[in-house]
Structure 1
Amino acid sequence: MTQTDVAPNPRPERSIDIYRRALSWLDAQLPSGWTVSSDRPRSPAAPNRLLITAPDGESVSYAIVASRGVLSGDVARIAAELSDSDRGFVCAHYLSEPVRRQLDGHGISYADATGNLNLVAPRPAIWVRNRGADADPWRGPGRPSGVLTGEPSDRVVRALADHVGEVSVPELIKLSGASTGAAYRVVEVLLERELLTRLPRGPVTDVRWAHMLRAWAADRKVCPTRGFAAPDGVDALRTRLAGANAGVGYAVSGIGATDYAAAAVLEVYADDVDEFAAALDLRPVDHGADVVVATPWSAVVFDRMQYRNGLRCVAPAHVYADLVSGPFRHPEAAEYQLTALTADEAAWRRPLHRGR
């Protein structure tokens, strides 16, 4: 297997151009004496069949599937559309690593315009492999970045984690409050990273919520925090918060929002840190804080909160993500929370209610 530098050529858009670019990589990697040919449909369509011929004249035929973009959810459909006796050759402007792994798993050959290539057949025996780009070189502004950052990601991830059941993307948009374009982009990123399953142009049917929350936690920007001292101690502060005026916007997270252990430090989000501190007579400190207040990047921390001992706490899924990484990180408590969430999903994942 070789790795080839990818020149910043214009992104191929027509099916025939995608095929020609992919074929140029295949032709360059074929062993000496092997040849490649195809039928000649009218441009801009790609050919239907690819023929690879060995030096002794024996050949193998592939059904060509040319597409500008292939997502993880498309691979099973492509495999199902191939007959048991047929071999497939997928070509696209770029094939992500998860998509390539799925194609490998289904025994489908492929090549993209960046040089990622895998062609295999048992007779005549051939295996040609090349490594191209590790990221889409033509990804522009507004395209999915491949990472789960920003408020749209926060909203979509939380909506998928907090609810159970098949959900269409339009339903997910309403559920999450994310904009249409942003929601579709986040779903595409989650699909590319194999964190959910979606029918082709259809609903999301399954969510790997634990893996999704870990990935989201790792990608998020860390919220800024400030440390305070509670004049009468943390226990007295919890009592005050349980009876506090509803106008004080806060949500407890970290260990204090779990059953893992008694929390010596109160970790909390506040929509206005100064207002929160003033309302509770908290004193700013540089060291030895027993109250850590984070300023959230997204208001999603206040969505679907839970109540524990009279305190408003972020949703269980969000608690887990906070324990995985960020200002409230605690690996042992994160694993404890994951075990609890896995043991009783019905206690925190809400079924989707659809109007008739």
Structure 2
Amino acid sequence: MEPSEEPKSALVDHAVRSLQALLGSKWEITNEVLDDGAFDARVRLVFPGSKVVEFLVLAERELTPRDINGKIAQTHSILRHAHVWQSLLVVSPWLSPRTQHELREHGVDYLDLTGNVSLNSDDPLVRIHLQGLTKSSSKPSTGRTITLAGSRTGRIVRFLVDHAPPYQAKDVAQTAKVSTAWVSRLLGQLEERLLIQRENRVITKVDWRGLLRARAAAGDLLRDNPHHGGLALNGVRDVLERLRSGAINRPFAITGPHAARALAPLSVGGQLMVYVDASEHEVTGLMDDLGLLPTDESPDVLFLKPQDPVVFEGARVVEGLPHIAPSQLVLDGLAGPGRMPAEAEAVLAWMADHEDEWRR
């Protein structure tokens, strides 16, 4: 039986055993099942010679960030205003990074069965913050969970990030060339995760930073975009000059470290990554034109065949060469290898400071 299918009492038992393993044998932990409808259990932690730490437990098989701002936040507020000495503890099979963030923002302790833990007490002093799985290892049990991978989701994410609200699902669908019904379903999922906000049917706010992170976490740059590497016999600078002079007679755009440095310089070096919609045979010809020797080992230049043409949308010209849009650059960087995620974080910071320059 999957943890998400077990009775709540079993879920609390799992959590108590995890707590015991974390705190050690000197701590005595008791678990009292409650059937009052408000809480699922009362867990007491006792260390010899210290005060008792007591948690009122809510066991939830599935939680979204939106749930935190509803039931969980209200319960926590009631406890705080009632001046009770117990703390609220949420246990679940798995909590997404965004759900964990919302719980911490509301001052609620949590523990999931994959190892994500945030536990705090002032007397006795307890501070535990551990990171477990960032992706759920179980299969979605309901229609509430949706993946942000795939090309059509990528087009929708780019629209939401690149265009400031207000707009409706039909506007997104028309631009992204996706059915309105499918867009509406995805928007419902994003709203559950607090990545967008709506009033009636109108999108009024987009957490574009969180949305970029969520989309990138669902993908992998080199897995999702077939690629071929080349060794620059005369150096990368020569390749760039040939690109400027029109050596490629088809749409292309630069991504990766070279494009990131143009916006937010963080490091030097790194591969020259170029999106180009070309077959393997055509890429071989392009490499000849650019003075590249095909190689799979430590290539200087990497040609990527885009999963979707959306990567070319919003491209900007930098020193005579097309660079992908900042939003796509962050998506690629966060899902890329090596130091690319750190470079993407620097671009994210630039985007936050220059939103009027890139967002329509």
Name the TM-score, length of structure 2 as normaliser: 0.61
| Cα distance in 2, alignment partners of residues 293 and 95 from structure 1 | 41
- Give the deviation of 1:132 after TM superposition: 7.3
The change in CA–CA distance for 1:280 and 1:286 in structure 2 (over 3 A counts) is: closer
| Cα distance in 2, alignment partners of residues 169 and 306 from structure 1 | 27
The answer to whether the Cα contact below 8 Å between 2:151 and 2:307 also exists between their aligned partners in 1 is yes
SS in 2 for 1:189: helix
The change in CA–CA distance for 1:130 and 1:241 in structure 2 (over 3 A counts) is: closer
The change in CA–CA distance for 1:227 and 1:279 in structure 2 (over 3 A counts) is: closer
Counterpart check, 1:311 vs 2:321: yes
The answer to whether the Cα contact below 8 Å between 2:232 and 2:301 also exists between their aligned partners in 1 is yes
| Cα distance in 1, alignment partners of residues 329 and 318 from structure 2 | 13
- Larger Cα-atom Rg: 1
| Cα distance in 2, alignment partners of residues 138 and 182 from structure 1 | 19
The change in CA–CA distance for 1:264 and 1:327 in structure 2 (over 3 A counts) is: closer
| Cα distance in 2, alignment partners of residues 137 and 262 from structure 1 | 42
Opposite residue 185 of structure 1, the aligned amino acid is R
Q: Could you tell me which residue of structure 2 aligns to residue 102 of structure 1?
A: 69
| Cα distance in 2, alignment partners of residues 246 and 268 from structure 1 | 11
Q: Could you tell me which of 255, 260, 266 is aligned with 2:272?
A: 266
- Determine which structure has the larger helix proportion and give its number: 2
SS in 1 for 2:149: coil
Q: Which runs of 5+ in 2 are unaligned?
A: 8-32, 38-60, 95-137
The answer to whether the Cα contact below 8 Å between 1:266 and 1:292 also exists between their aligned partners in 2 is yes
The answer to whether the Cα contact below 8 Å between 1:225 and 1:327 also exists between their aligned partners in 2 is no
SS in 2 for 1:326: coil
The change in CA–CA distance for 1:119 and 1:100 in structure 2 (over 3 A counts) is: farther
- Give the deviation of 1:341 after TM superposition: 0.8
SS in 1 for 2:152: helix
Q: Could you tell me which residue of structure 2 aligns to residue 191 of structure 1?
A: 191
Deviations 1:284-337 (A, max 9, x none): 112231101222222211122111111112111110121112257513312221
Q: How large is the RMSD of aligned CA atoms in angstroms?
A: 3.7
| Cα distance in 1, alignment partners of residues 81 and 74 from structure 2 | 9
| Cα distance in 1, alignment partners of residues 70 and 214 from structure 2 | 23
The answer to whether the Cα contact below 8 Å between 1:119 and 1:129 also exists between their aligned partners in 2 is no
Q: Could you tell me which of 239, 242, 259 is aligned with 2:241?
A: 239
The change in CA–CA distance for 1:137 and 1:333 in structure 2 (over 3 A counts) is: closer
Identical residues among aligned pairs (%): 27
SS in 2 for 1:289: coil
Q: Could you tell me which of 291, 309, 332 is aligned with 2:301?
A: 291
Q: Could you tell me which of 270, 283, 293 is aligned with 1:276?
A: 283
| Cα distance in 2, alignment partners of residues 167 and 246 from structure 1 | 38
The change in CA–CA distance for 1:256 and 1:102 in structure 2 (over 3 A counts) is: same
| Cα distance in 2, alignment partners of residues 329 and 147 from structure 1 | 25
- Give the deviation of 1:156 after TM superposition: 0.8
1:1-356 equivalent positions in 2, closer than 5 A: 5-6=5-6, 30-31=35-36, 96-104=63-71, 107=74, 139=142, 143=143, 145-199=145-199, 201-223=200-222, 224-244=226-246, 247-258=249-260, 259=262, 260=265, 261-274=267-280, 275-281=282-288, 282-327=292-337, 330-350=340-360
| Cα distance in 2, alignment partners of residues 144 and 133 from structure 1 | 16
SS in 2 for 1:107: helix
Q: Could you tell me which residue of structure 1 aligns to residue 132 of structure 2?
A: none
| Cα distance in 1, alignment partners of residues 305 and 4 from structure 2 | 45
Opposite residue 147 of structure 2, the aligned amino acid is V
| Cα distance in 2, alignment partners of residues 321 and 240 from structure 1 | 27
| Cα distance in 2, alignment partners of residues 204 and 271 from structure 1 | 33
- Give the deviation of 1:206 after TM superposition: 0.8
The answer to whether the Cα contact below 8 Å between 1:250 and 1:270 also exists between their aligned partners in 2 is yes
The change in CA–CA distance for 1:180 and 1:119 in structure 2 (over 3 A counts) is: farther
| Cα distance in 2, alignment partners of residues 152 and 249 from structure 1 | 21
The change in CA–CA distance for 1:236 and 1:230 in structure 2 (over 3 A counts) is: same
SS in 2 for 1:164: coil
SS in 1 for 2:328: helix
